[in-house]
A and B are shown apart, each in its own frame.
Chain A
Amino acid sequence: MSTSTAPLLDVRDLQVEFHTRDGVAKAVNGVSYTVDEGQTLAVLGESGSGKSVTAQAIMGILDTPPGKIAGGQVLFRGQDLLKLKEEQRRKIRGSEMAMIFQDALSSLNPVLSVGDQLAEMFTVHRGMSKKDARAKSIELMERVGIPGAKERVRQYPHQFSGGMRQRIMIAMALALEPALIIADEPTTALDVTVQAQVMDLLAGLQSELNMGLILITHDLGVVADVADRIAVMYAGRIVETSPVHDIYQAPAHPYTRGLLRSIPRLDQKGRELYAIKGLPPNLMNIPPGCAFNPRCPLAQDICRTDEPPLYKVSRERASACHFWQRTLEGEEAATDD
């Protein structure tokens, strides 16, 4: 399988379940996506759609139990990570693929200085001396734009502002220049002005190091600027994948359409904001047929019985909707507005 044309990351039919006292929650149901070097894939979806769980399964940091990978493959440079021993996976984590988390304050260890937490990457993975690792940490902090890095390296996470903390998270992920970065809502916890700075930094470093980036987000504004491709997730499945610009022009899935319509727009000031009706399904009890059918304005009988496959919309696009053509043409049920 290991050919030179193989993508950096190739997730195939990944399935993740959570076994709880109340039953089995199917968090990820057959997700497939690929990321190439230097490419940014935005994974979009509301809370509970399985986007973070997919990422954790790729990284191998899923809590098992209650989590369980029920099937599929995670091919990284052609090698199935799910077949590796834990020790081999550990060595890949942090050095070849790294993750940036949403809330930097809780994701950084409160009782260790940021310098210690950064230096750990070099001492553990590269066997560097403490002194060299410290110098490297300062270098990293400067690289992600933290002023006074030499002094601040001794400080603790709570002594930094939100934006600076997220920069430290980014520095930590980039420390060993991994080939793949997974950023799980990296700007959600930040002020709007800081969001843009952090996103710019991340995008800049990504193109500089030619890394593959999986950007998990529900912020459509961020996506348009930095992503190459988009994968929209709903109830543990990918419902639409597309190059970024096509999707904004003409979504091929009613759920994507709903998401795009719920973005507040300046030219519609004063009008009530659009919201997709209903709630996402309970993952222990996903409705038969298309999981989105109870909320879909286009839903017909077939949607309640047959689960739609990922239909090929064009060479680079796919949609899991029986009526993708009608959606693409902009048709909506008359009752919707």
Chain B
Amino acid sequence: MGRYVIRRLLQMIPVFFGATLLIFLMVNVMGDPIAGLCGQRQCDPATAAQLRKEFGLDKPVWQQYLTYMGHVFTGDFGTAFNGQPVTELMASAFPVTIRLTIVAICFEIIIGITLGVLTGLRRGRPIDTTILLLTLVVISVPTFVTGLLLQLLLGVEWGIIKPAVSPEAPFNELLIPGLVLASVSLAYVTRLTRTSIAENARSDYVRTAKAKGLPRRRVITRHLLRNSLIPVVTFIGTDIGALMGGAIVTERIFNIHGVGYQLYQGIVRQNTQTVVGFVTVLVLVFLLANLIVDLLYAVLDPRIRYA
């Protein structure tokens, strides 16, 4: 197990370099970052040249990358054009997004799995058909529609929530944005759990559990659910990374100053340092989440052993 973890962690190194290089190149071909700084007007050539020299943009791209990586390893992710260090942006943005992700994951686990078990055990009945139809609606409607709709109804029309989240973004203000962020994955979790439960409900070991005279509740929670959750855990685990990076739309709608918001700002303002820094950290989060999923897999299913 220990060796497996070390091997997986070592594998992350080339992925880390590859991903950062790719992002760095992509951001650099987006266009001249200086041009964007002056808005609609043409920049003063002297100022532009001075800025280029200051940020090292006059050097070749490979040299820029090496310099950047050198800085990254000393904990310096560079400076945004407004003079704020990127690490400072991260320190304010990541906690917000992590809170939002936690809320979203909780919704996925609690609502998604509950609905999945409910429908899986009652396949073909009205409740199953209804929920299945609802999940289909949620999956097909884009997040910005559900987000804006909920914001308009709950926030503006009925005044149940604040339409915009305050900069501190406490948990209670993140409930509805979290639900919006989770909605599509939640529908997938429901469907995944449903299929898994329905499939395992017919399995031999569930029949054995019934023949042993165990109460129905125990048959479901101890025998059926644990076996059925293995694919669901995989999905939720990989979804952590997707949710953190994919919150751009939700964070924009509810004015949450998290990772998605900063990334959006970085892209719009062609702020190379911000984009590369944030995406790099997201790549790492994604890799770690995947590793944790794989380890959790072995905990849930003793047949899987890593050597």
Contacts and interface: CB of A to CB of B under 8 A. Distances in A.
Interface in B185-244: 202-205, 207-215, 218, 222-223, 226-227
A332 interface: no
Contact of B227 (A93, A110, A121, A158): A110
Contacts of A158: 302-303
B211 A59 contact: yes
B215 to A, nearest CB: 7
Contacts of B218: 120, 124
B227 A108 contact: no
Interface in A90-124: 90-95, 98-99, 101, 103, 106-113, 120-121, 124
Interface in A232-265: none
A306 interface: no
28 contacts: A59-B211, A61-B207, A61-B210, A90-B213, A90-B215, A92-B213, A94-B211, A98-B211, A101-B204, A101-B207, A103-B204, A106-B203, A106-B204, A107-B208, A110-B227, A110-B301, A110-B302, A111-B301, A111-B303, A112-B222, A113-B302, A120-B212, A124-B212, A124-B218, A125-B213, A156-B302, A156-B303, A172-B208
Given A101-B208, A156-B303, A109 B213 contact: no
Interface residues of A, number: 29
A142 interface: no
A124 B210 CA distance: 12
A93 B211 CA distance: 6
Interface of B: 202-205, 207-215, 218, 222-223, 226-227, 300-303
Chain B binding surface, main DSSP class: helix
Nearest to A105: B204
Interface in A72-91: 90-91
B212 A109 contact: no
A106 B205 contact: yes
Contacts of B227: 109-111
A141 to B, nearest CB: 16
A109 B210 contact: no
Given A110-B302, A111-B300, A111-B301, A93 B205 contact: no
Given A92-B213, A93-B211, A94-B214, 15 more contacts: A91-B213, A101-B207, A107-B207, A107-B208, A109-B209, A109-B223, A110-B227, A111-B302, A112-B223, A112-B226, A124-B213, A124-B214, A156-B302, A158-B302, A172-B212
B65 to A, nearest CB: 47
Contact of A110 (B205, B212, B213, B215): B205
Contacts of A91: 213
Nearest to B299: A111
Contacts of B204: 101, 103, 106-107
A106 B213 CA distance: 18
A111 B218 CA distance: 15
Contacts of B303: 110-111, 156, 158
Contacts of B215: 90, 124
A132 interface: no
B212 A93 contact: yes
B301 A109 contact: no
Contacts of A103: 204
Contacts of A99: 208, 211
A174 B200 CA distance: 26
Contact of B226 (A95, A107, A108, A111): A111
Interface centre among B202, B205, B211, B223 (most CB of A within 10 A): B211
A225 interface: no
B208 A93 contact: no
Contacts of B222: 112, 120
A10 to B, nearest CB: 21
A95 B203 CA distance: 22
Contacts of A124: 212-215, 218
Contacts of A98: 211-212
A331 interface: no
Given A110-B301, A111-B226, A120 B205 contact: no
A170 to B, nearest CB: 13
